[in-house]
Structure 1
């Protein structure tokens, strides 16, 4: 099973960063390089406890669909999402937010596992971890820019 943590201080209040992190429009804006769009579920605004959204995007030249469930929402401190249908054998993402000098410390904890046993573990180690880190960083670049501009 692969995992990683990304942390970033964003020059905006915790409440703003938390709200933008749950906004499906911000997510779509952050994934334009991957032609990501909403294919089902919540289509606009901020997601809440129990909401489901299906994302459709292109990665590695292939179209993927992933349906995620938002849970454990503790505004404005934390929330989680996990894949309930899609390309991974497992995908969980914990988001936490806390006041920090200069704004908000945003922390992303990702746990993932590709299918296909030993082959999936090899893909995770060689390709997927690096790809997912890049995606989270791209998302967080856009989120930070929007939080500061708001």
Structure 2
């Protein structure tokens, strides 16, 4: 399994950051370049505990779908989404939030494994880790910008 860890410092209240990270609408906005859209489950607004969303988008020139479910949620502290159907063997994304003074530290722990055993692990290290890191960084920048604009 491959782990990506990211920490984003946001000058906004923790509740604002937490809700923006759960926003289906902001996710769609941040992934416009992939044509990603929510096609089933919770398709707009804020996703909550035990809710699912099915995303459809174009990655590596291929249209793919992935359904994820919010498996844990502690308001304004953390939530976890996990793939229940999709292209990965496993995918688990834990989001944590910590208020420190005027800032929120938003941390991502993104674990994934591609199918196909040794070949999948090779693809993960050669291609997927970098690709997914870039997507997460772009998304976190959208969350940061929206939170800081909202916090003024």
Could you tell me which residue of structure 2 aligns to residue 124 of structure 1? 124
CA displacement, residues 47-69 of structure 1 (integer Å, 9 cap, x when unaligned): 11000000001111111100000
- Residue 149 of structure 1 corresponds to 149
Alignment of 1:7-86 (within 5 A): 7-86=7-86
CA contact (8 A) 2:11 2:103 kept: yes
Paired residues of 1:9 and 1:100 also in contact (CA < 8 A) = no
Distance across 1 between alignment mates of 2:44 and 2:50: 15
Per-residue deviation, 1:100:
2.1
Question: 2: distance between equivalents of 1:30 and 1:111?
Answer: 20
* Superposition TM-score, scaled by structure 1 size: 0.98
Q: How many residues align?
A: 150
1:110 maps to 2:110: yes
Aligned-pair RMSD on alpha carbons?
0.8
TM-superposed deviation, 1:72: 1.1
The unaligned stretches of length 5 or more in structure 2 are: none
Residue 103 of structure 1, CA deviation: 1.1
